[in-house]
C-alpha cells in the first residue's frame, strides 16, 4: 500500500512538472509572437498627427462667402455681396445685392429689404436666407463693421511710415511707382453730412486711404437730392449707381494691392493681416480659410475676377422694393445675363 501511494505521488509530481514546463514554453512563444506582430503593426500603420497641416485641404477651396459691410445701428448695411472663391479654377466672383432688394422667408413669413436683413436676423441667418432663395450653398460669412472696412483697406494699401502723395514722381529707374494708397480717380465732388455720415471727397482725389474708401462706398445720394448733368453720369440717388462705384474702387484695390501672382509668401501675409481684423467682425472663417483665399491671390490675374449685380423690378407695397426678375447684370460688360446661368457657372460649390 505504501508503494502504491509513493507511485501516485511521484507520478502526479512528474505530470505537474511536465505541464508547467509546457505552459512556460507556450507562454514564451506566444509573447515573442505578439511582440513580432506588434512591431509589424507599428511599421505598417500610418499615425495621425492632429497638429500636422492638411496639405490637401489647403489646395482646394470652392466656397461662397456672404460679406456684409455695415453697423448694428438700425440702419441699412452699406454693402451686401456674395463672394465665390474657387481655388480649383483660380477664379473670384462677386454678386452685389442692392439695399432695397426684397427677401422673403417662408418659415416665419418675414418680408424685408436686403440692407436690413442682418439687422433683423443676424449674419448667419442672412446667409441661410440667400442660400434658400437662390438655391446655392452659403456656408461662410463676414459681418464687417464700417470702421474695420477702412482698416482692411489700410492694412494692405497704406504704409504708415510713408507720406500719402497723390501725385508721386516716377521712379528714378523708370520702374512702376507703387503709391501709398489705392490709385483711383474721382470725377465729381461727394458731400453728405448727416448722422453717422461725414462724407466729403473732392473730385481731385487720386489716391485713397481706408477712410476715403469708406466714404466712397457709403455715398449714393446728394445732400439735397439734386443732381447735375455731370453728377448723373456717376450717381442718381439709386443704390445701383453706388454699387457700380464701389465695385470700380474695389477692383482697383484688388488688382493693385492683393494680386500677387507668383508670390507664394503673400498667402501667409494675407491670412495674418486679415485674421487679426476678423477678430473685430462676426465671421466663421478660420485662419486656414484665409490662407486658402490668400493662395488664390498668388495665382490669378485680373481677367479671372468677375463682378455681377442681381437685378429686379421696382414695386411699392408698404415700402419700395426691388423684386428679382431672374436676370443678373455683368458689371464689367454692362450686359444682362440669365440669372440661373450666372449662379450655376459662378456660385455653384462642391
Domain boundaries, the chain: 62-346
Q: Which three cell numbers stand for residue 46?
A: 500610418
Per-residue DSSP letter, 254: I
CB-based contacts of 150: which residues, under 8 Å, 6+ apart? 209, 210, 211, 213, 214
> What pLDDT, on the 0 to 100 scale, is given for residue 53?
43
> What pLDDT, on the 0 to 100 scale, is given for residue 35?
45
The ranges of the chain with pLDDT < 70 are 1-59, 164-178, 350
> What pLDDT, on the 0 to 100 scale, is given for residue 179?
76
For the residues of 152-199, what is the DSSP string, one character each?
HHHHHH--TTS---SSPPPPTTS-----SSEE----S-EEEEETTEEE
Q: Which helix (H) or strand (E) holds 294?
A: helix 287-297
Among residues 253, 69, 77, 62, the alpha carbon closest in space to that of 140 is found at: 62
Extract long-range pairs of 8-12: CB within 8 Å, 24+ residues apart: none
What are 217-229's pLDDT values in tens digits? Answer: 999 999 999 999 9
> What pLDDT, on the 0 to 100 scale, is given for residue 13?
56
**Architecture per CATH, 62-346:** 3-Layer(aba) Sandwich (3.40)
What are 249-305's pLDDT values in tens digits? Answer: 999 999 999 999 999 999 999 999 999 999 999 999 999 999 999 999 999 999 999
Amino acid at each position: 500500500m505504501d508503494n502504491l501511494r509513493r507511485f501516485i505521488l511521484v507520478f502526479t509530481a512528474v505530470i505537474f512538472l511536465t505541464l508547467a514546463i509546457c505552459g512556460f514554453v507556450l507562454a514564451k512563444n506566444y509573447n515573442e509572437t505578439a511582440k513580432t506582430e506588434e512591431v509589424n503593426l507599428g511599421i505598417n500603420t500610418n499615425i495621425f498627427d492632429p497638429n500636422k497641416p492638411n496639405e490637401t485641404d489647403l489646395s482646394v477651396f470652392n466656397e461662397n462667402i456672404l460679406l456684409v459691410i455695415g453697423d448694428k445701428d438700425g440702419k441699412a448695411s452699406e454693402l451686401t455681396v456674395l463672394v465665390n472663391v474657387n481655388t480649383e479654377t483660380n477664379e473670384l466672383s462677386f454678386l452685389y445685392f442692392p439695399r432695397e432688394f426684397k427677401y422673403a422667408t417662408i418659415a416665419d413669413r418675414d418680408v424685408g429689404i436686403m440692407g436690413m436683413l442682418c439687422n433683423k436676423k443676424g449674419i448667419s441667418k442672412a446667409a441661410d436666407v440667400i442660400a434658400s432663395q437662390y438655391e446655392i450653398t452659403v456656408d461662410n460669412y463676414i459681418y464687417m463693421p464700417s470702421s474695420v472696412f477702412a482698416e482692411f483697406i489700410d492694412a494692405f494699401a497704406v504704409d504708415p511710415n510713408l507720406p500719402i502723395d497723390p501725385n508721386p514722381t516716377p521712379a528714378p529707374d523708370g520702374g512702376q511707382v507703387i503709391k501709398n494708397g489705392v490709385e483711383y480717380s474721382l470725377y465729381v465732388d461727394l458731400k453728405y453730412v448727416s448722422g453717422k455720415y461725414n462724407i466729403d471727397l473732392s473730385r481731385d482725389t487720386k489716391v485713397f486711404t481706408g477712410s476715403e474708401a469708406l466714404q466712397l462706398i457709403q455715398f449714393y445720394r446728394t445732400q439735397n437730392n439734386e443732381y447735375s448733368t455731370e453728377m448723373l453720369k456717376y450717381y442718381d440717388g439709386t443704390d445701383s449707381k453706388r454699387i457700380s462705384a464701389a465695385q470700380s474702387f474695389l477692383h482697383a484695390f484688388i488688382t493693385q494691392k492683393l494680386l500677387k501672382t507668383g508670390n507664394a509668401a503673400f498667402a501667409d501675409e494675407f491670412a495674418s493681416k486679415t485674421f487679426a481684423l476678423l477678430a473685430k467682425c462676426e465671421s466663421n472663417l478660420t485662419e486656414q480659410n484665409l490662407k486658402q483665399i490668400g493662395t488664390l491671390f498668388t495665382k490669378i490675374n485680373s481677367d479671372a475676377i468677375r463682378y455681377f449685380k442681381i437685378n429686379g423690378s421696382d414695386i411699392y407695397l408698404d415700402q419700395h422694393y426691388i423684386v428679382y426678375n431672374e436676370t443678373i447684370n455683368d458689371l464689367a460688360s454692362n450686359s444682362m445675363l440669365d440669372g440661373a446661368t450666372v449662379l450655376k457657372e459662378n456660385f455653384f460649390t462642391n
